[in-house]
Amino acid sequence: MYQEVIAAISTAPGEGGIAIVRLSGDGSIEVVKKCFRRRKGRFSPRPWRVYLGDIVDSDGRRIDECLLTFFRSPNSYTGEDVVELGIHGGAFVAVRVLERLLECGAVLAAPGEFTKRAFLQGRLDLSQAEAVIDVIRANSDVALQNANLHLRGALTAEIREAERALLRVLALIEAQIDFPDMDTPKVTLSEAGAELEAAHAVLSKLLASARRGRVVKEGYRVVIVGRPNVGKSSLFNYLAGQERAIVTDIAGTTRDILEVSLNINGLLVNLLDTAGLRGDGDFIENLGMARTEQAMLEADLLLVLLDGSTNLTTEDEALLAKTSTTRRLLVVTKVDLPLQVTLPPAENAILVSTVTGGGMVELRETLAREAGRTIGGEHNLLLTNIRHTESVRRSREATRAAVEAARAGWELELVAIDVRQALDYLGEVGGRTVSQSLTDEIFAQFCIGK
């Protein structure tokens, strides 16, 4: 029975620790062999052994260290040959490894496909059938949501452009084949080749610009804001675990943005310290404040700091009003001192002190939760993205084959095979089937009739 090798990240993002990337299907080990380099000794894997090595890219550069385990059919989760790769880096590295496996010939698993295979191979018992169906349904609904989200973006326009170019060539070829007597424009091999070359260029551009999920790649961006002297830099240093920012009791100490990357429960969090916001700064301070404004725009989360030892100032009020619609977390500082501040009603705040360390556990937990939620969502989107990128890449390959067939002098019928294939792959992204749109295109374009 013909079964493709499927691959997927099987750990939920944001759970921290090691991510597992899993492959299933006959030939799984052959796929992995192309990108796994064992630390020492030759790699001739035996089942139920663990191997330490690296996943390397096409130039032999290390992507990440990994532990490989090989499960031989039928004693595996799916009942097929299964390879599991345990990798250290966070979600982003797992995605890179997955992409590399796809390059080496695996296909991205459909939602619930591992479970489905396990079931079809008789590894799960009958009573689990309904549970499997729920998994498939739930996952595909998420994927669909993501796909819709995704398709509303700029990608759609470019995919449609490539689709149109390919369809135009195919319609020309097919009209000429199915209606040879008609005075439809006759396309020659070299003309078809040139048109296909153009479609190929569009697809290449599309691939180059395929954006990765920013958060998964760059980390979750937390920006500390507050009026001067509220304790921003102190909190920054505390969370960073080092004295990065200068702390003084002079208002307006911090004038540029400082950034530090933190690992909070296995998630990459970028913490930014900013210049305090106030109305009457000097020139340099004003410049710093402009940067703060910019950083606020790019933030995934704002930590809005309020000094617990004084009452709210007009600057505090202004900042609260300004950030009321952004994602923010109120943090009351200096709570080791007598509490003076009255908080805005109906808003939670975390009370912290950099002197006693009070409230810091709660703050870290809250940050981890918020980051996890965002990264988890984006992770799904990213998988959709990989799926689409994969389809576009295959489409481009087929288009290349068509160009080469035309150049070598193969007849139109054979060129059409690859063009159709290219369109089929794009259809996986755009959701249109070739056969219907082709027929429509032929009759819309050409005056054909007996």
Residues 167 to 206 in contact with another protein, rule: CB under 8 A: 174, 176-183
Residue 37 parent element (H or E)? strand 36-38
Q: Residue 128 CB, nearest distance to Mg ion (Å)?
A: 57
Rounded-to-integer distance, Cα 53 and Cα 49, Å: 13
Q: Which of 178, 23, 18 lies closest to 114 in space, CA to CA? A: 23
Q: Residue 250 CB, nearest distance to Mg ion (Å)?
A: 9
| Site stretch for another protein (CB under 8 A), options 32-40, 133-141, 230-238, 273-281 | 133-141
Block residue for tokens 């005056």 = 447
Q: Residue 238 CB, nearest distance to ligand GTP (Å)?
A: 8
Residue 151 sits in the site that holds another protein (CB under 8 A): no
- Name the amino acid, one letter, at 63: I
- Cα→Cα distances 30→61, 79, 82, 108, 349, Å: 19, 17, 11, 16, 54
Q: Which of 50, 86, 54 lies closest to 70 in space, CA to CA? A: 50
Q: Residue 270 CB, nearest distance to ligand GTP (Å)?
A: 18
- Interacting residue with another protein among 64, 80, 113, 316 (CB under 8 A): 113
| Site stretch for ligand GTP (CB under 6 A), options 63-71, 108-116, 157-165, 347-355 | 347-355
Annotate 244-259 with b (16+ C-beta within 10 A) or e (fewer): ebebeeeebbbbeebe
x/- letters, 377..416, toward another protein (CB under 8 A): -------------------------------xxxxxxx-x
Rounded-to-integer distance, Cα 22 and Cα 101, Å: 10
Is the CB of 29 or the CB of 230 nearer to Mg ion?
230
| Site stretch for ligand GTP (CB under 6 A), options 121-129, 154-162, 232-240, 372-380 | 232-240
Q: Which of 307, 154, 166 lies closest to 232 in space, CA to CA? A: 307
Residue 20 sits in the site that holds another protein (CB under 8 A): no
Is the CB of 176 or the CB of 326 nearer to another protein?
176
Q: Which residues bind Mg ion (CB under 5 A)?
A: 232-233, 253-254
Q: Are the beta carbons of 293 and 322 closer than 8 angstroms?
A: no
CA–centroid distance for 374 within its chain: 11
Report the partner that residue 442 touches, choosing among another protein, Mg ion, ligand GTP, none (CB closer than 5 to 8 A by kind): another protein
| Site stretch for ligand GTP (CB under 6 A), options 147-155, 164-172, 247-255, 418-426 | 247-255
Q: What is the DSSP letter of 126?
A: G
Q: Residue 190 CB, nearest distance to another protein (Å)?
A: 14
- Interacting residue with another protein among 110, 240, 312, 343 (CB under 8 A): 110
Rounded-to-integer distance, Cα 334 and Cα 354, Å: 7
Residue 119 sits in the site that holds another protein (CB under 8 A): yes
Is the CB of 24 or the CB of 353 nearer to Mg ion?
353
Q: Residue 137 CB, nearest distance to another protein (Å)?
A: 5
- Interacting residue with another protein among 129, 251, 337, 361 (CB under 8 A): 129
Looking only at the bridges linking them, the beta strands covering 301-307 and 220-225 are parallel
| Site stretch for ligand GTP (CB under 6 A), options 41-49, 104-112, 196-204, 223-231 | 223-231
Residue 304 parent element (H or E)? strand 301-307
Q: Which SS3 state, helix, strand or coil, does residue 72 take?
A: coil
On the question of a cis peptide bond just before residue 344, with omega within 30 degrees of 0, the verdict is: no
Residue 233 sits in the site that holds ligand GTP (CB under 6 A): yes
Block residue for tokens 């597992």 = 20
Block residue for tokens 């100032």 = 313
Q: Are the beta carbons of 169 and 175 closer than 8 angstroms?
A: no
DSSP codes of every residue in 194-260: HHHHHHHHHHHHHHHH-PPPHHHHH-EEEEEE-STTSSHHHHHHHHHTS--S---SSTT---S-EEE
Residue 337 sits in the site that holds another protein (CB under 8 A): no
Residue 442 sits in the site that holds another protein (CB under 8 A): yes
Residues 304 to 333 in contact with ligand GTP, rule: CB under 6 A: 333
Rounded-to-integer distance, Cα 201 and Cα 152, Å: 22
Residue 292 sits in the site that holds ligand GTP (CB under 6 A): no
Is the CB of 292 or the CB of 384 nearer to ligand GTP?
292
Q: State the residues that interact with another protein by CB under 8 A.
A: 1-2, 110-113, 116, 119-120, 126, 129-130, 132-134, 136-137, 140, 144, 174, 176-183, 408-414, 416-417, 435, 438-439, 442-443, 447-450
Q: State the residues that interact with ligand GTP by CB under 6 A.
A: 226, 228-234, 247-249, 251-254, 276, 333-334, 336-337, 353-355
